[in-house]
């Protein structure tokens, strides 16, 4: 399945009730990862690629912060701690 799809279509392969499935969708929507739109009795869902991209960007920024921390730790241990500190 690609592109926008209705809640009913999306729920089918999972074999769970619609109310339970809607709960999962709501989490994704609140996260901004999908958008939904209701027309008559049909709610259509679509992915928000920009938001997915942002989440990946956020994670790679976090990784950069942790890597920089490891680099600071290495620089500190290798250059600033004295031999006494290795006991």
Partner 1 sequence: MTEVSNELSISRLINAAPGKVWKAWSRPEHLARWWIPHPIECKVIKLDLRPGGGFETRMREGDGDFKPHVEACFLDVVPEQRLVWTTTLAEGWRPTEPWLALTAIITFAAEGNGTRYSARVMHKNAADSRKHEEMGFQEGWGTTIDQLAAFVEHLE
* Distance in angstroms between the alpha carbons of the first and the last residue of the chain: 61
Task: Closer to partner 1 by CB, 42 or 59: give it.
Answer: 59
Structure tokens at 31: 């996260």
Which of 16, 18, 42, 68 forms a contact with partner 1 (CB under 8 A)? 68
- Of 67, 73, 71, nearest to 81 by C-alpha is 73
Task: Closer to partner 1 by CB, 41 or 83: give it.
Answer: 83
Residue 21 beta carbon to partner 1: minimum distance, rounded to whole angstroms: 14
- Of 14, 46, 19, 43, nearest to 33 by C-alpha is 46
Q: What angle do CA 58, 60, 61 make, to 5 degrees?
A: 65
Q: Does 55 bind partner 1 (CB under 8 A)?
A: yes
User: Of the listed pieces 15-23, 36-44, 64-72, which binds partner 1 according to CB under 8 A?
Assistant: 64-72
Residue 29 beta carbon to partner 1: minimum distance, rounded to whole angstroms: 10
Provide the binding-site residues for partner 1, judged by CB under 8 A.
27, 30-34, 47, 51-52, 54-56, 58-59, 61-78, 80-81, 85-87
């Amino acid at each position: 399945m690609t592109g926008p799809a209705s809640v009913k279509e999306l729920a089918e392969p999972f074999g769970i009730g619609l109310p339970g499935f809607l709960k999962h969708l709501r989490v994704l929507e609140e996260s901004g990862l999908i958008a939904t739109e209701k027309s008559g009795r049909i709610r259509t869902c679509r992915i928000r690629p920009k938001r997915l991209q942002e989440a990946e960007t956020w994670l790679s920024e976090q990784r950069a912060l942790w890597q920089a921390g490891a680099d600071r730790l290495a620089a500190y241990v290798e250059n600033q701690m004295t031999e006494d500190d290795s006991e």
